[in-house]
């Protein structure tokens, strides 16, 4: 419940901060600064997500290779007992 209230308060503050005072009569007018921050941070965020995706892809390939080896070993062991 506390997290919900905190989230609502933060969203309302974000809207208040982004509104230009000339247009709405209230607000901080930080909209342009917020857009500038997002434009500057997006390439960094994209690079981070890309690196994480590469690491996950490499781990997935290793897991598939290991599962294939275990399956082949199980078939070989099963074939010897029959």
Task: Quick: pLDDT tens for 16-70.
Answer: 999 998 887 889 999 999 999 999 999 999 999 999 999 999 999 999 999 999 9
Please give the full DSSP string across 25-69, using - where no structure is assigned: S-S---HHHHHHHHHHHHHHHHHHHHHHHHHHHHHHHHHHHHHHH
Domain boundaries, the chain: 2-81
Q: For residue 77, what pLDDT is reported? A: 84
Q: How far apart are CA 20 and CA 8, in angstroms?
A: 20
Task: Check residue 75 and give its pLDDT.
Answer: 87
Is pLDDT of 80 > 90? Answer: no
Q: Is the pLDDT of residue 8 over 90?
A: yes
**Model pTM score:** 0.59
Mean pLDDT score, 6-24: 92
């Amino acid at each position: 419940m506390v997290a919900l209230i905190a989230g609502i308060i933060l969203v309302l503050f974000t809207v208040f901060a982004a509104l230009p005072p000339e247009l709405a009569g209230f607000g901080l007018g930080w909209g342009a600064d917020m857009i500038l921050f997002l434009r500057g941070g997006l390439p960094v965020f994209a690079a981070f997500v890309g690196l994480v995706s590469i690491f996950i892809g490499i781990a997935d390939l290793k897991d598939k290779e290991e599962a294939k080896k275990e399956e082949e070993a199980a078939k070989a062991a099963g074939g010897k007992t029959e």
